[in-house]
Amino acid sequence: MPPESLTCKECHTVYPLDASYVCERCFGPLEVTYASRADVEAAELRRRIQAGPHSIWRYRDFLPLTSPPPRDTLPAGWTPLLRADRLAERLGLREVWIKNDAANPTHSFKDRVVAVALARAKELGYHTIACASTGNLANAVAAHAAAAGLDSYVFIPSDLEEQKILATGVYGTTIVAVRGNYDDVNRLCTEVSGEREWAFVNINFRPYYAEGSKTIAYEIAEQLGWQVPDRIVGPIASGSQFTKIARGFEEWIEVGLLAGAVPTMNGAQAEGCSPVATAFAAGQDVCRPVKPDTIAKSLAIGNPADGPYALDLARRTGGGIDAVTDEEIKAGIRLLAETTGIFTETAGGVTTAVLAKLAERGDIDPGERVVAIITGEGLKTLDAVRGTFETVEIEPSYDAFEASVEARPAPAQPVAA
Amino acid sequence: MAIVVKIPTQLRAATGGASSASVEGGTVGEVLDALYEQFGELRERIADDGGLRRFVNVYIGGEDIRFLEGLETPVEDGDEVTILPAVAGG
C-alpha cells in the first residue's frame, strides 16, 4: 500500500508526494493518501507486521515511504504499554494502561515522527533537516540527523528548559534560540522554509512527519492483543498527534485488523495554554490563539495548526478536551511516578492530571479500558519537581540514621489532581 | 502610505513570482483589498466571505493580527505585513 499522493484535507485537491504541506488553492493542510488496501487480506497484513522489526518500521505498510526504510535510523517506537493497576485503583477505575513513549531513543514520542520525516527527506534527496521545536523535537531532529549523517538546524524558544538544550547540543547540531515563544519560532521557520532547500520536519515535511504518530495507535492495538481500547487520554499541543492516533485506529478498523470503533478521545492541555480546550468548552469550531504561560513548555503552542480537527475528533467520539493548572500538572507527575514508577515530563503531568479529573468527574465508566499517552521523560523538566519533597541529610552514623530517618513521620499521601 | 506585504512561496504563482508587494491602505483589511486589486487570483486563495480562510495567518511586524484588531488593525507607513500558512508546527 504505497503512498499515492498528498491531498488537501479541506478542498481535496491532489498533489504529488513532494516537500509541500499547504494547498495552493485554499491554504488547507495536505495529508498523505495511500493506494487502496481493499484487496489485501488482514491476515497477510498482520503476518507482515509481526515479521517486522521491533520499531515503527514494522508498520511500514501504513507509512509514507516509497522504498524500504533506511538502516541508519535510531530505532523509534515499540515502547512499553504498561498496565497501571495502582494508578487505576487510586482513581477508582478498573483498567488503566500507560503507553510510555519516554522509552524512545531521545525520550519522547518525537522520535517516531522524525524517523518518518527524515526517511522521506532522504528519499527526496535532502541533505539538511530542520525544525521549529518546543524542545523534544529539537532533541529528536539533532539525534536522528547525527545517526544519518545529515546536517541539522533546530529553532527553539530561547527560554527553553536547560536540560532540553543540553541534550540537543551534544549531537552537534546548530541550535538557533529565538527570542520569542514557540509561535514566533514557528512563524520564523515557516518563512525560512520557503527560502531554503531544507527539510523542515514539521513544516514542509509535515504531511509525512504527522503520519509517524499513527504508530502509537498501531502499537497500542497490537500490544492489547489486536484490540481497540475504549478511551485514549493524550496531550494536545498542535493537535497533530491527537488526530493521528485516532487515524491509526481508523485505518486498522478499515482494513479489518481491528474490530470496533475509534476510541473515545480525550485531549489534555495546560490552562496556561489551552486554546483547544477553551474552544471545546465554548462550542467553537476554530481556536483563538493565545500567548502561552505554563510550565508545560512542550505543549506551549498558542496557535495550534490542527486545532479544528482535534475539536471535531473529540466531539465526534464523545470525548472532550480539558485543561489543568500548573499545580495539577505537578501533582499529575507525582501521581504517575508514585503509582507506576514512570517519571514523566510536564506534558505527561498534564495527561495524568486530566485523566484524574475525568475519573473524579465520573466521565469514565468504571468498566472502561483506558490508555493514557505519556509522551516524554521527566529528566527533561526537572524544575517541575524541584522542592516537592525533602531529603534527610545525616552524619554517617547508625545513631543519626535511627534518630533522623526512622523517627520521621510517615510521608503524607499526595492528593490526586 | 506604502505598506510592504510579504508573499509566501505557496502564493507566488498568483503574484507572477513576486515575493513581496507594496500597496496602500490604512488597515490590514484595506491592505489586503489593495493586494487583491493588484493580483486578482489571491482573493480566492486566501479570502473567505468577508474575512480570511481559517488556515491563513497574517502578521504585522511579527504579531498575529488576531492579537490586535484583526482586519481592522491600523497600519502605518513602513509597516510590514506577512501572510503565512497556518498549518505548520507541532
Which chain B residues have a beta carbon less than 8 Å from that of A28? 53, 55, 87
Q: What is the pTM of this model?
A: 0.95
The structural domains of chain A, with segments of one domain joined by +, span: 81-105+213-384, 110-210
Average pLDDT over residues A92-118: 98
Contact flag B88-A304 (C-beta cutoff 8 Å): no
Higher pLDDT, A25 or A318: A318
Query: Which residue is listed with cell 541550535?
Result: A175
Contact flag A190-B8 (C-beta cutoff 8 Å): yes
Residue A276's alpha-carbon distances to A75, A214, A309, in angstroms, are 32, 21, 10
Which chain B residues have a beta carbon less than 8 Å from that of A288? 66
Which chain A residues have a beta carbon less than 8 Å from that of B84? 187, 190-191
Cα angle vertex A220, ends A217, A224, to 5°? Answer: 140
pLDDT tens digits for range B29-54: 999 999 999 999 999 999 988 789 98
Contact flag B85-A190 (C-beta cutoff 8 Å): yes
Pick the residue from chain B with its C-alpha nearest to A138.
B90
Dist. CA A378–CA A396, nearest whole Å: 31
The radius of gyration of chain B from alpha carbons, rounded to an integer in Å, stands at 12
pLDDT tens digits for range A275-318: 999 999 999 999 999 999 999 999 999 999 999 999 999 999 99
Higher pLDDT, A392 or A73: A392
Q: Tell me the three cell numbers of residue A111.
A: 522520535
Fold classification of A110-210 (topology level): Rossmann fold (3.40.50)
Dist. CA A168–CA A190, nearest whole Å: 21
Residue A146's alpha-carbon distances to A57, A140, A200, A290, in angstroms, are 19, 10, 16, 35
* pLDDT beyond 60 at A219: yes
Q: What is the pLDDT of residue B1?
A: 60
* pLDDT beyond 70 at A416: no
Same CATH fold assignment for domains A81-105+213-384 and A110-210 = yes
Residues 6+ apart with CB under 8 A from A144: A73, A74, A111, A114, A115, A118, A129
Please report which residue ranges of A82-211 form alpha helices under DSSP H.
85-91, 110-123, 136-148, 162-169, 182-195, 206-211
Q: What is the pLDDT of residue A71?
A: 83
Task: Specify the 3-state DSSP secondary structure of A298.
Answer: helix
The structural domains of chain B, with segments of one domain joined by +, span: 2-85
Nearest Cα of chain B lies from the Cα of A174 at a distance, in angstroms, of 19
Residues of A with CB under 8 A from a CB of B: 10, 20-22, 24-29, 132, 180, 182-184, 186-187, 189-191, 193-195, 200, 202-203, 206, 237-241, 286, 288-289, 291, 301, 303-306, 308
pLDDT tens digits for range A113-125: 999 999 999 999 9
Q: Which CATH superfamily is domain B2-85 in?
A: Beta-grasp domain (3.10.20.30)
| Type of residue found at A84 | A
Confidence of residue A408 (pLDDT cuts 50, 70, 90): confident
Confidence of residue A411 (pLDDT cuts 50, 70, 90): low
Contact flag B90-A203 (C-beta cutoff 8 Å): no
DSSP secondary structure, A22-45, as one string: B-TTT-PBEEEEE---TTS-HHHH
Q: What is the pLDDT of residue A415?
A: 52
* pLDDT beyond 50 at A144: yes
Asked whether the beta carbons of A33 and A7 are under 8 A apart, the reply is yes
Confidence of residue A417 (pLDDT cuts 50, 70, 90): very low
Nearest Cα of chain A lies from the Cα of B34 at a distance, in angstroms, of 20
Fold classification of A81-105+213-384 (topology level): Rossmann fold (3.40.50)
- Residues of B (20-59) whose Cβ lies below 8 Å from A: 45-46, 53-57, 59
> Phi then psi for A235, rounded to 5 degrees?
-75, 155
Residue B89 at interface with chain A, using a CB cutoff of 8 Å: yes
